[in-house]
Amino acid sequence: MALQLMKYAVYGRVQGVYFRDNAVKQARAVGVAGWVQNNLDGSVGGEAIGKPENLAKFQEWLNQGPPSARVEDLKTEHHEIEEDHFYGHFERRKGRGVGPPAFTKA
């Protein structure tokens, strides 16, 4: 079974609105593993691993976020991965990351 890694960064009013807590609930509900964190630039970002159809459901949710959020932009990058690169769960990271996950320059 092919798994994908999705790096993502969500911009807008996404901090202080329980975005990360709701992302954890949504990811677990659709069967996605990985992590989410606040970033110093005001975005929320992370990595998600799962089947392409499950990642699509999670990405759809990221485009809207929880009711109190206002998503203005979502950047994603998808990569095929080996099954041994698997988190096993989805977690909310404390603190703030330096920035969104590094995207591959095209």
Just list the catalytic residues.
Answer: 20, 38
Phi/psi of residue 45, nearest 5 degrees: -145, 175
The bridge status of strand 90-97 relative to strand 3-13 is: unpaired
Q: How far apart are the C-alpha atoms of 84 and 93, rounded to whole Å? A: 22
Q: Which amino acid is at 48?
A: A
Q: Please list the alpha-helical segments (H only) found in the chain.
A: 19-30, 52-62
